[in-house]
Amino acid sequence: MTRRTMFQKGEVHNKPSGFWGMIKSVTTSAPGSENLTLIQQEVDALEELSRQLFLETADLYATKERIEYSKTFKGKYFNFLGYFFSIYCVWKIFMKAS
């Protein structure tokens, strides 16, 4: 939107013509170009924030689903099996070490 406004005001020029036009483009900048770069940096930062918020939201939904699953009979059964096999493995390691 800023680029369009700058173009309508005549602040954005096409490629400079000739040798002096190239030198002028290197030594000077367009009147609104600093503002445009600041806006672009802000947009990039906000897009990254949006990505991070999306990832956090997806992670929260996955955690919520795991909690709801752990309350079902099947979830409690698998939780019990996990504890059982953990104790079994520790016992086997202890017996092997003795």
**26 CB-contact burial (10 Å; exposed 0-12 / middle 13-18 / buried 19+):** exposed
Question: Number of structural domains, the chain?
Answer: 1
In a domain, 69, yes or no: yes
Report, in angstroms and rounded to the nearest whole number, the Rg of the chain calculated over CA atoms: 31
In a domain, 7, yes or no: no
pLDDT band at 36 (very low <50, low <70, confident <90, very high): confident
Q: What is the pLDDT of residue 7?
A: 66
State how far the Cα of 3 lies from the Cα of 19, in Å rounded to an integer: 26
In a domain, 12, yes or no: no
In a domain, 50, yes or no: yes
* pLDDT per position as a tens digit, 37-61: 888 899 999 999 999 999 999 999 9
pTM of the model: 0.52
Do 85 and 79 contact (CB within 8 A), yes or no?
A: no
In a domain, 85, yes or no: yes
Residue 3 has pLDDT above 80, yes or no: no
**66 CB-contact burial (10 Å; exposed 0-12 / middle 13-18 / buried 19+):** exposed
Tokens of 46: 């906000």
In a domain, 1, yes or no: no
